[in-house]
Structure 1
Amino acid sequence: MLIHPTLEILQSLRLRGMLKALQEQLQMPEIDALSFEERLALLLEREVTERESTRLRSRLKQAKLRENAAIEDLDVRAQRGLDKTLMTRLSACQWIGEHLNVLITGPTGVGKTWIACALANKACREGFSARYVRLPRLLQELGIARADGRYPKLLAELARTDLLVLDDWGLTPLNDEQRRDLLEILDDRFNARATLVTSQLPIAHWHDYLGDPTLADAILDRLVHCAYKLDLKGESMRKQGSTLTPEPTLA
């Protein structure tokens, strides 16, 4: 049997998983003990695995996660007020399919961004698309997109994303245009996609932060009432993990 034409055909058809598996089989003398059907099943299995891995890499690349975090590495022993039952539920990612939201609040350094990225990473592994953005930077980008004609396209991209992570909510004041942009984003996602927000501000202060009472009501109505809430507490984990050399004690 001429194997090289078969390898070339698999390469031309971009069946890279089957190509790699067949090349490996050719190096395994014991493979002859398997039937044709068994060897074919192994080739197909490898192709499916290879395609799933490729899609996952693509989803993670598009997500642009700030932290390389996995929910399996979450330290539930840290004194942060983590609800273990809720975290188990969120890790299953059912809330994303149900188009619900997650709001993570707490002081700086307690791990809000890490947890958000870990949940987005898990979402990608479960087959959902995700995207991480810092809200101040996103609103700046929307302002630029409005000026150069990309605004509708950018809004459409955000609306298609299964899980949108908005980090640093409440960090900088909003102008009227930015408030309306935020409403557009959340209105597109309401009952259609999932949104995760992290903020140093307690949720009770969000209405005042948004400023305009009418727009604040509309924004929070689409975000807060259909959301799981996670309020973290404790000292900054950056401080706890600091490797700085202590200052010498003066005699």
Structure 2
Amino acid sequence: MLIQQTLSQLRMLRLNAMAEALEHQRDRPALHELTFEDRLGMLIEIECQARDTRRIDRLLKQARLKVSAAPEDIDYRSSRGIDKRQIASLLTGDWIQRGQNIIITGPTGAGKTWLACALGLQATRHGMTVAYRRLPRLLEDMDIAREDGSLPRFRAQLQKTRMLILDDWGVSKMTARGRQDLLEIIDDRVGMLSVVITAQMPVTEWHVYIGEPTIADAILDRIVHNAHRIELKGDSMRKQSKI
């Protein structure tokens, strides 16, 4: 009777994984030979693992990453131009703690979005908030938010995100309003929050793409000089996956 009361209290305290593990221990006589401290430690570890899993699942749902990609599956073939030591350093998450950025460039299909999403997944494992946005769609959404009066709330939500992935940089024409909105987004993050940018266009062409020299200088100064660069090479990974 006491064990049922304990199980009920554990569930009331939302320690569901611990409750299930305790029931599992009851059905495993071999575990009864362990000390009380060892069995309690096992229960606590299982509860912590379950909470970590739920936390990561919640962060991933909020991130809305475009593709399912994991760091363990990164293709390090030399032809792709990926420095394994650089990636290992980035996977620690220290660059996010320092408010630094990442710029991933390369041809169509080289795996830029995939790699950005793998880094996003790793950030959630470190308990950090992540958001994936295509830059053209983000600027459109800001226009809509401006029209309906929700722009301050929209920007506040972006500021709560430790790692913002801006995919498809340079694929659509930059408008005057888009330049200003982009500057505001980047300026809100300088030195505190991180940006990951993926682009087919090399960084040397970004100034011309943004257009207005003063704003272009301001945006690039806030991004490029505090960024880790990854230049992907090789044939399209999409074509290779069909072989």
TM-score (norm 2): 0.95
Measure the CA separation in 1 of the matches of 2:112 and 2:31.
50
> Which residue of structure 2 lines up, in the alignment, with residue 71 of structure 1?
71
Which letter maps to 1:228?
A: H
Q: Percent identity between the aligned chains? A: 49
Q: Which residue of 2 aligns with 1:30?
A: 30
Q: Aligned equivalents of 2:75 and 2:239: distance in 1?
A: 16
Counting matched residue pairs gives 243
Aligned residue for 1:246? none
2:170 alignment partner AA: G
Partner residue in 1 for 2:184: 184
* Cα shift at 1:78: 5.4
State the match for 1:107 in structure 2.
Answer: 107
Q: Kindly report structure 1 stretches of 4+ aligned residues shifted beyond 3 Å.
A: none
Letter in 1 for 2:209: Y
Work out the CA distance in 1 between the residues paired with 2:113 and 2:102: 12
Deviations 1:146-165 (A, max 9, x none): 22222111211111211111
1:1-251 equivalence runs, <5 A: 1-77=1-77, 79-243=79-243
1:25-46 Cα deviation digits (max 9, x unpaired): 1211223222333222222222
C-alpha distance in 1, partners of 2:7/2:241?
Answer: 52
The unaligned stretches of length 5 or more in structure 2 are none
Deviation for aligned residue 1:128 = 1.6
Task: After superposing the two structures, state which structure 1 stretch, 218-227 or 86-95, moved more.
Answer: 86-95
Residue 140 of structure 1 and its aligned partner are, at CA, apart by: 0.9
1:77 Cα offset (Å): 1.1
The whole-number CA distance in structure 2 between the counterparts of 1:60 and 1:75 is 22
CA distance in 1, matches of 2:193, 2:162: 5
Q: Where in structure 1 are there 5+ consecutive unaligned residues?
A: 244-251
**More divergent stretch after superposition (47-56 vs 192-201):** 47-56
Q: Distance in 2 between matches of 1:8 and 1:97?
A: 40
Which SS does the other structure have where 1:79 is aligned? helix
**Letter of the 2:196 counterpart:** L
1:115 alignment partner AA: L
Q: 1:88 to 1:36 in 2, by over 3 A?
A: closer
Structure 1 residue identity aligned to 2:197: V
Q: CA deviation at 1:85?
A: 2.5
Deviations 1:106-137 (A, max 9, x none): 11011101111111111111222111111111
SS in 1 for 2:127: coil
Using the size of structure 1 for normalisation, the TM-score is 0.92
Secondary structure at the counterpart of residue 171 of structure 1: coil
Q: Which amino acid aligns with 2:118?
A: A
C-alpha RMSD over aligned residues:
1.4
- How far apart, CA to CA, are the structure 2 residues paired with 1:71 and 1:97? 19
